[in-house]
Amino acid sequence: MAKTPTKSAPAKAAPAKKNGLDTTIQSLGQAKIPSPLKYCRFVEDEQQLELRLTEEEADVPGGHGLHLSFEKAGPRGKLYFDSSKVKCAIVTCGGLCPGINDVIRAIVMDAYHHYRVASVIGIRYGLQGFIPKYGHDIVELTPHNVSNFHVFGGTELGSSRGPQPPEEIVDALERMNVGVLFMIGGDGTMKAAANIVKEIRARNSRISVIGVPKTIDNDINFVGKSFGFDTAVEKATEAIACAHVEAVGAYNGIGIVKLMGRESGFIAAQATLALKEVNFVLVPENPFSLDGPDGLLDQLEKRLRSRHHAVIVVAEGAGQHLCEASGSTDASGNPVLCDICTLLIARIKEHFKMRTMETTIKFIDPSYIIRSVPANANDRVYCGFLGQNAVHAAMAGKTGMVVSRLQSRYVHVPLELVTMKRKKMNIEADYWRAVLESTGQESMTMHRLPGVECPKP
């Protein structure tokens, strides 16, 4: 049942607090029911993994070299739920990303085949699906009807943006007698999940909420690499290769590729490292100048005079300081970005017209193609592990957490940590230095490691 008459508060595992950060995972109560899993090595809650996090894994004060203990993911020997009687629900929220269907499929397959759950339902069109006024039907998810989900991109359940009242969501969960809610989404979804958990606790209900972090931008804190990121980078390199072909096919040809990355430039940086044809990469974390001897326009002119072609990769959130923001927000509460590429193209044309230099600009925006494709093999494997470990955590009565992969280890991370802030690249770290070495671009702003003079490429 989703609600019990007991008045005791949800239990917590043994405290795991270090560096002012609490990694303790909430539990609905004591797990007493023997697991039905066979031929399995069970994980004990006391099995904590001591990890030393890098800048690419946790963007928090003191994040570099931060030591934390995390609860290890995996099947437990004792369950909180009688799995044969529990009803589960899955909802997908936010923008599309390669691998969502693979996670859905993995959850359903593991829940049915190994835990023999009573039912798994899919909530249509994100959190709107819980609210009666939208009129969205639910769908029964079985191994038969999810068997080919992984063939397609996007989400078979549909998605939406925008907050919905947690009270109405919990009302719906209780009406449907749902015991476990799996939420697949990004930063905004995880914040919504945290609010749902608070409402569940306020009502003293016994509903497990498990998050599976999804963001094509790879900007969720305490997630080493989000699912779909590898696929996105792979497809992005194809667009960059096309831009390079277009650039070298014209005298003073310039190929410009716009990639996802509202606040974090991980896709742009990783694709640049994967394909050595990029000459300039612009990311949100590194404000740049257009004008002056160190500005992009002068550097681009030098490049064209010497090589007669150039490729520029631009993350969508780069250069926001150069154009006027509208001040409005989208349905998820994110600021609406100005179109940096339109500004870049206009300024590049103006710059070279004044110098009577002939140029040809080819602009490629593959964003919707990239996010809509099916996951590649590596991401499918990753999604399978995430889905399975999400089911293991839920059946053991865990709640208020996400399943994350840190340093090739699957762990449980509290929602409070992943929603602290969005993860960004550290432009003083070795990773960004490697990106600059790959492009050969000179620094357009003075970002230097303390005490180190970097020679110009």
Specify the pTM.
0.90
Give the whole-angstrom CA distance, residue 189 versus residue 158. 14
- Hey, what CATH topology would domain 230-369 get? Rossmann fold (3.40.50)
pLDDT tier for residue 57 given thresholds of 50, 70 and 90: confident
Per domain, the residue ranges of the chain are 11-226+375-418, 230-369
Q: Which residues are catalytic?
A: 217
pLDDT (tens digit, 9 = 90+) per residue, 18-32? 667 899 999 999 999
What are the distances in angstroms from CA 385 to CA 100, 212, 298, 360, 380?
Answer: 13, 11, 48, 46, 9
DSSP 214-243: --TT--BTT-SS-TTHHHHHHHHHHHHHHH
Work out the burial of residue 325: count CB atoms within 10 Å of its CB; fewer than 13 is exposed, 13-18 middle, 19 or more buried.
exposed
Give the whole-angstrom CA distance, residue 391 versus residue 393. 5
Does position 426 have pLDDT exceeding 80, yes or no? yes
11-226+375-418: in CATH 3.30.43.10: no
The reported pLDDT for the residue numbered 61 is: 64
pLDDT tier for residue 349 given thresholds of 50, 70 and 90: very high
Of residues 119, 228, 126, the one with CA closest to residue 178: 119
pLDDT tier for residue 455 given thresholds of 50, 70 and 90: very low
Bridging pattern class, strands 26-27 and 280-282: unpaired
The reported pLDDT for the residue numbered 129 is: 98
Residue 282 backbone phi and psi in degrees, to 5: -115, 125
